[in-house]
Chains A and B, each alone.
Chain A
Amino acid sequence: MNCRSEVLEVTVEARQVEEAMLALLHTILLHRSTGKFHYKKEGTYSIGTVGTLDFDCDFIDFTFVRVSSEELDRVIRKAVSEFKDALGNSGSDGMGQISLEFYQKKKSRWPFSDECIPWEVWSIKVNVVNLANEQERQICREKVGEKLGEKVINVVEVINRHEYLPKMPTQSEVDNVFDTSLKDVQPYLYKITFQITDSLGTSVSTTMRRLIKDTLAL
């Protein structure tokens, strides 16, 4: 099975990084979360209700909708905050990428550990710029708001193609497909990773990849 990969790119000011990432990650997770499953006998299940919440960004002229779950919000914020710190520490012209990967667990026999097979990966490339004065910052607020709107439309477009989604699992398999650790909602199993490109525009992984490609090309 092929993993679907989507790339979104945004250019923001340093103080907008957090909210821009939250906006996009939450938008994706909104579509990739369901209510909690309650399995009944005979293999049927009922699904809980997902609430939504509007969030106004402080540094961007933008409002996004996220799942009404404080636990989920905390997890996402933590990841975004780590990304933001890493980006901040990397240098003034920060470039980085945060990835949201949805995967399925495939149980393997002992002694092999479970395999994580991604079925959808969203990569958000971030370009951080520094602005000189308040006027530029104000324009940036609006521009980034519009850009984020476009990205939300892109996300919605991809999701509404209704391509591969894991099959609804039986009760025993539910933890291989969904993250059942939250109290109120149930997103698909996901993980968030990030990488920072240094100021030369290269990252360790891209350098390695290039080396391997070059080697193979010989």
Chain B
Amino acid sequence: MDSGLSPQDKKDLDKFIKFFALKTVQVIVQARLGEKICTRSSSSPTGSDWFNLAIKDIPEVTHEAKKALAGQLPGIGRSMCVEISLKTSEGDSMELETWCLEMNEKCDKDIKVSYTVYNRLSVLLKSLLAITRVTPAYKLSRKQGHDYVILYRIYFGEVQLSGLGEGFQTVRVGVVGTPVGTVTLSCAYRTNLAFMSNRQFERSAPIMGIIVDHFVDPPCSSQRPANMGQPCNYRAPDEEDGGPFAGVQDSQEVCTTSFSTSPPSQLYASRLSYQPPALAGAADLCHPAANPNQMLHAGKEGGVVLVPAQPPHGADAHLTAEHAPNTPGSSGDDDGLSQSGEGRRDEGRRSVSPSDPVESLNAFTRKIGAFVNKPSTQITATSMDLPFAAFAPRGLDSEENDPMVQPPDSPPCPSPLQASLHSQGSEGSGPQDDFVMVDFRPAFSKDDLLPMDLGTFYREFQNPPQLASLSLHISSQSMADDLDSLPEKLAVYEKNIDEFDAFVDMLQ
């Protein structure tokens, strides 16, 4: 038996260890990206899948790993470490775990390099895949985005576990003996998440499975927790062998879904889908997504932006595009416009064929509904045969004459149904007997009381006067009255105690 390794075997072994190290880093980083990984099995070998496993190679990660290795291989005393840390949007960071690929002196001389070592390294990679989903940082990384991101740092040399806090746990992924030493892969992970519990990041989800970040409130960002973690690149100057490893400082990268060149400060940017610029100004207005086709996205400004995900109708797409160049003031109304428009559309659908986008477009602009802000250029009605023709603006621009905004006086309504449907009638009973005229009176549509649009309304009533009943002297007075009347009330209740008991029994 050879005591030494044949040159071919040595070359192979070095190659295996090098690519094993690179694949290890890929697996770890990809497991912390925050999304599910899926690769396909292929029955025919492609020749580029190391260890017969389909592990994608993210170029930046490979680049960082190669930079950290700097042409060396993990050896005795030279471990390759991947440090995973968490960084909040306020800039606090905390080390979560450190994965170490180490080599020790215990050699297995008899083992076959090209076959057994290779297969065992493959099994070890599979184990790594399994274990990366088990450590606590996995769940944290799946929830990253709004409040924190997960970062990775690759370094080479001595393993540093001091940043993991007290009581960190270690899990050994596996070992593979080789003729030059034993490869060991392990993970040390933090168990003390005290820093995070200050911020209401719970390790375990609260009851009823509510997402924790609903309750994280920005005001507490002004406080700094006592045991704040160090920023990831702090440790870099402490490392030995500053020469080849000087580049480690720069290897901190953001593990987000996209690996574009977006700067790390835009924590939200990488998680967003496209937002039409028109609606960005509506940050102040938080419309609940009444229409299921519209979704709320966290905006770059931290506000809430309404994004129509899929216009249900061709016309909608026209509309939002049409109102694209907007002043911020009226943009909120346009939200309402598109929102109410869809509500309107349902109503109008009876009369307007939805398959004709042009007609429905025209019909829509005439049906002015809630939150309306009349566009300056009015599309006037042509001679279209519409059941609501009575309300069609007869070529008038002014709001006062628009019958939808200011419904005409109620004509004598013979039908009790119609009478009950609108308090301020509309002329519908006349020419359209087969339709029930529903006097659509959305909020803020009438101008006679308060001649203002929704935006103005909001601005004016942002700070309403305090309720009279809440003012101090009156409340104290009523408190005193209450206390005085309390004995009488109690006496009455005691008298009627049987009634109350019967009521409670009835409920049970």
A184 contacts which chain B residues (CB < 8 A)? 41-43
Q: Which of A97-118 contact B (CB under 8 A)?
A: none
B42 contacts which chain A residues (CB < 8 A)? 35, 48-49, 51, 184
Nearest CB in chain B: distance from A71 CB, A: 10
- B134 interface hit (Cβ, 8 Å): yes
Contacting residue for A30 out of B129, B173, B208, B209, CB 8 A:
B129
Report the separation of the CA atoms of residues A27 and B123 in the bound assembly, to the nearest whole angstrom: 12
Report the separation of the CA atoms of residues A57 and B54 in the bound assembly, to the nearest whole angstrom: 23
Report the separation of the CA atoms of residues A50 and B126 in the bound assembly, to the nearest whole angstrom: 10
Contacting residue for A65 out of B133, B175, B176, CB 8 A:
B133
- A11 interface hit (Cβ, 8 Å): no
Nearest CB in chain B: distance from A60 CB, A: 12
Report the separation of the CA atoms of residues A185 and B133 in the bound assembly, to the nearest whole angstrom: 22
A51 contacts which chain B residues (CB < 8 A)? 38-42, 53-54
Interface CB pairs A-B, < 8 A, 15: A30-B129, A31-B130, A51-B41, A52-B37, A53-B36, A54-B37, A54-B38, A54-B133, A55-B36, A61-B205, A63-B133, A67-B41, A68-B41, A157-B172, A162-B120
- B45 interface hit (Cβ, 8 Å): yes
CB–CB B41/A50 < 8 A = yes
Taking beta carbons and an 8 Å cutoff, which residues of B are in contact with A?
36-46, 49, 52-54, 115, 120, 122-124, 126-127, 129-131, 133-135, 138-139, 142, 171-177, 204-205, 207-209
Report the separation of the CA atoms of residues A48 and B52 in the bound assembly, to the nearest whole angstrom: 6
Nearest CB in chain A: distance from B45 CB, A: 5
Given contacts A38-B45, A160-B123, contact A50 B54 (CB under 8 A): yes
Report the separation of the CA atoms of residues A171 and B96 in the bound assembly, to the nearest whole angstrom: 47
Contacting residue for B134 out of A30, A52, A54, A153, CB 8 A:
A153
Report the separation of the CA atoms of residues A46 and B43 in the bound assembly, to the nearest whole angstrom: 10
The majority secondary structure among interface residues of chain B is: mixed
CB–CB B53/A160 < 8 A = no
CB–CB B39/A52 < 8 A = yes
B134 contacts which chain A residues (CB < 8 A)? 149, 152-153
Nearest CB in chain B: distance from A85 CB, A: 27
- A138 interface hit (Cβ, 8 Å): yes
Of all chain B residues, the one with the shortest Cβ separation from A35 is B52
Of all chain B residues, the one with the shortest Cβ separation from A186 is B43
- A190 interface hit (Cβ, 8 Å): no
Report the separation of the CA atoms of residues A76 and B53 in the bound assembly, to the nearest whole angstrom: 21
Report the separation of the CA atoms of residues A110 and B481 in the bound assembly, to the nearest whole angstrom: 104
Nearest CB in chain B: distance from A36 CB, A: 4
Report the separation of the CA atoms of residues A54 and B348 in the bound assembly, to the nearest whole angstrom: 47
Contacting residue for A46 out of B37, B45, B122, B205, CB 8 A:
B45
- A82 interface hit (Cβ, 8 Å): no
Nearest CB in chain B: distance from A171 CB, A: 16
Nearest CB in chain B: distance from A100 CB, A: 16
- A215 interface hit (Cβ, 8 Å): no
Of all chain B residues, the one with the shortest Cβ separation from A185 is B41
A56 contacts which chain B residues (CB < 8 A)? 36
Nearest CB in chain A: distance from B86 CB, A: 18
Report the separation of the CA atoms of residues A30 and B172 in the bound assembly, to the nearest whole angstrom: 18
Nearest CB in chain A: distance from B435 CB, A: 48
Of all chain B residues, the one with the shortest Cβ separation from A157 is B172
CB–CB A183/B43 < 8 A = yes
CB–CB B130/A138 < 8 A = no
- A127 interface hit (Cβ, 8 Å): no
Report the separation of the CA atoms of residues A65 and B176 in the bound assembly, to the nearest whole angstrom: 22
Given contacts A135-B207, A138-B205, A138-B207, contact A52 B129 (CB under 8 A): yes
CB–CB A34/B37 < 8 A = no
CB–CB A152/B130 < 8 A = yes
Of all A-B residue pairs in the complex, the 3 with the closest CB atoms, nearest first, are A160-B174, A51-B39, A54-B36
Given contacts A49-B46, A54-B133, A65-B133, contact A159 B205 (CB under 8 A): no
Report the separation of the CA atoms of residues A135 and B134 in the bound assembly, to the nearest whole angstrom: 24
- A119 interface hit (Cβ, 8 Å): no
Q: Chain A, 72-101, contact with B by CB distance < 8 Å: what is the 0/1 string?
A: 000000000000000000000000000000
B38 contacts which chain A residues (CB < 8 A)? 51-54, 68
Report the separation of the CA atoms of residues A160 and B126 in the bound assembly, to the nearest whole angstrom: 10
Given contacts A35-B45, A48-B45, contact A27 B208 (CB under 8 A): no
B127 contacts which chain A residues (CB < 8 A)? 31, 156, 159-160
- A69 interface hit (Cβ, 8 Å): yes
- A214 interface hit (Cβ, 8 Å): no
Report the separation of the CA atoms of residues A55 and B38 in the bound assembly, to the nearest whole angstrom: 9
Q: Which of A24-52 contact B (CB under 8 A)?
A: 27, 30-31, 34-36, 38, 46-52
Of all chain B residues, the one with the shortest Cβ separation from A53 is B38
CB–CB B207/A49 < 8 A = no
Nearest CB in chain B: distance from A204 CB, A: 34
Nearest CB in chain A: distance from B200 CB, A: 17
CB–CB A65/B129 < 8 A = yes
Report the separation of the CA atoms of residues A152 and B129 in the bound assembly, to the nearest whole angstrom: 11
CB–CB B123/A31 < 8 A = yes
Of all chain A residues, the one with the shortest Cβ separation from B134 is A149
CB–CB A38/B44 < 8 A = yes
Report the separation of the CA atoms of residues A153 and B52 in the bound assembly, to the nearest whole angstrom: 22
Nearest CB in chain B: distance from A35 CB, A: 5
Contacting residue for B54 out of A34, A68, A135, A149, CB 8 A:
A68
Q: Chain A, 137-163, contact with B by CB distance < 8 Å: what is the 0/1 string?
A: 010011000000100110111011010
Nearest CB in chain A: distance from B48 CB, A: 9
